[in-house]
Amino acid sequence: MKPTIAPYPLTRFRRARQSPAIRGLVRENNLTVDDLIWPVFVRDGEGIEEPVPSMPGVVRRSVDLIEKAAIEAQALGIPAICIFPYTDPSLKTEDCAEAWNPDNLSNRAIRAIKNAAPDIAVMTDVALDPYNINGHDGYVVDGQIVNDQTVEALVKMTLAQADAGADIIGPSDMMDGRVGEMRKALEGAGHQNVMILSYAAKYASAFYGPFRDAVGASGALTGDKKTYQMDPANSDEALRLIERDLTEGADMVMIKPGMPYLDICRRVKDTFGAPTYAYQVSGEYAMIQAAANNGWIDGEKVMLESLMAFKRAGCDGVLTYFAPRVAQLLQG
C-alpha cells in the first residue's frame, strides 16, 4: 500500500465514524452466529448440571441436559457443538480402551444430540487424555509419549465417533501423521463426508488450566505436554504444521489458544486461505469472566470485542464458551 499524501479534508478520518449508520457502512468485519462453535462438557448421570469452578458460568451436563442444550443452541442458530467428556477416574487406564468404546460418554452424547437436534453439526475431540491414567494425549512408554502407537488408537477413536454420527472430527493430540491415517480410515469405512478440523497449530499453553479441571485431567497429568504441543516461541513451524495437515486431508484447521496467537491466525489465513478457526480457550474465558464478575470490565462488551478480534485476524470461526450468550445477543 502506498502512503497517502492527501490534502487536508481527506485526512478527516472521523467522517467515517460519525454515526452508527456510517460506521456500519465502512465496517470491514462482522461477527455472526455462523462463526460460532460451542464447546460443552458432558458427564455421567441424569438431570445433572454441575458448575466448573475455574470457569464461572460453564457447567458439566449429563447427556439428557446436553441434549436440551443442543436443542436450544440449534434454535439460536449456532452451527456446531463440540463435545468434551468428563470421564470417571475408574475408566482411565493405560491402554485407554474407553476412548473407542462405542457406548462411552462422548459417543452417547453424539447420538443423543444427532437424534434431538439433527441440524446442529457435532464436533468431537480426538486425544487420549480423558481416558489416560497419566493424563497425556498419547500413550506413555518408559516416560516417552510414543507417536505411532498413539495414532493407531486415535484412528479407532475416530471411527467410533464417526459411527456414532459425528460430523466433524477434531484431533487435538498433536501426534504426527494422525490426520492422514484418520482420513484413510474414514474413507475406508464409508465416512467420506465426515470432516476433519485439525488442531494443527496447538501450543503447549498454560491457558488450558481450567479446561483440565473441567474434564478432570488436571489431577491425572504428570509432567507437561511440551514434547508434542508447540513451543509458544514459534511461528514458522505453525505454517509447516498447517500445510502438512491440509495435505494429509484436513478440511479445516485450528490455531489454539486464540487471543495470544492472533498473529498466527493471520499468517495461516494469508498463506493457505483454508477454513481457519481459533479456539478461545478456557483460560481466556476464565480471565474475561473473572474480571467481569468482579465488576472490573464490562463482560459483554469485552466478550464481543475479543471475538471480533478473531474475525479481523482472518478467522472463519471461533470455538468459544461464550457461544450461546453471543448468539442470544446477536439475535436479540
Q: How far apart are CA 58 and CA 39, in angstroms?
A: 10
- In DSSP terms, 201 is beta-bridged to 255
Q: Which residues contact 263 (CB under 8 A, 6 or more apart)?
A: 235, 313
Interface region with ligand PBG, contact rule CB under 6 A, candidates 67-75, 105-113, 139-147, 204-212: 204-212
For CA atoms 223, 224, 227, 233, the dihedral sign is negative
- Helical (H) or strand (E) element with 301: helix 299-312
Min CB(132)–ligand PBG separation in Å = 10
Smaller CB distance to ligand PBG: residue 225 or 267? 225
**Could you tell me the three cell numbers for 215?**
474434564
Q: In the chain, which ranges are E strands?
A: 36-43, 49-51, 59-62, 80-85, 121-123, 140-141, 144-145, 168-169, 195-202, 252-256, 276-280, 317-320
**Could you tell me the three cell numbers for 64?**
439428557
Min CB(218)–ligand PBG separation in Å = 9
Interface region with ligand PBG, contact rule CB under 6 A, candidates 56-64, 88-96, 207-215, 262-270: 207-215
Residue 194 as a binder of ligand PBG (CB under 6 A): the answer is no
Residue 208 as a binder of ligand PBG (CB under 6 A): the answer is yes
Q: How far apart are CA 138 and CA 222, in angstroms?
A: 12
Residue 244 as a binder of ligand PBG (CB under 6 A): the answer is no
Min CB(261)–ligand PBG separation in Å = 13
Is residue 202 annotated as a catalytic residue, yes or no?
Answer: yes
Residue 211 as a binder of ligand PBG (CB under 6 A): the answer is yes
- In DSSP terms, 42 is beta-bridged to 61, 85
Q: Tell me which of 172, 276, 289, 306 binds ligand PBG, using CB under 6 A.
A: 172
Smaller CB distance to ligand PBG: residue 64 or 257? 257
Secondary structure (DSSP) of 257-285: SSGGGHHHHHHHHHHH-S-EEEEE-HHHH
Smaller CB distance to ligand PBG: residue 94 or 119? 94
Min CB(14)–ligand PBG separation in Å = 39
Per-residue contact string for residues 45-84; x = within reach of ligand PBG by CB under 6 A: ----------------------------------------
- In DSSP terms, 59 is beta-bridged to 51
Residue 38 as a binder of ligand PBG (CB under 6 A): the answer is no
Which one of the listed residues 114, 225, 256, 269 is annotated catalytic?
256
Per-residue contact string for residues 80-119; x = within reach of ligand PBG by CB under 6 A: ----------------------------------------
Whose cell is 514434547? That residue is 227
Q: Tell me which of 57, 134, 147, 212 binds ligand PBG, using CB under 6 A.
A: 212
Q: Tell me which of 54, 106, 282, 320 binds ligand PBG, using CB under 6 A.
A: 282
Cα–Cα distance list, 259 to 218, 303, 306, 309 (Å): 23, 12, 7, 8
Residue 281 as a binder of ligand PBG (CB under 6 A): the answer is yes
Binding-site size, ligand PBG (CB under 6 A): 11
Report whether the peptide linkage leading into residue 89 is cis, meaning its omega lies within 30 degrees of zero: no
Residue 132 as a binder of ligand PBG (CB under 6 A): the answer is no
Q: How far apart are CA 179 and CA 245, in angstroms?
A: 6
* C-beta neighbour count of 35 within 10 angstroms: 23
Smaller CB distance to ligand PBG: residue 98 or 129? 129
Contacts with ligand PBG, residue ranges (CB under 6 A)? 125, 127, 129, 137, 172, 208, 211-212, 225, 281-282
Active site amino acids:
202, 256
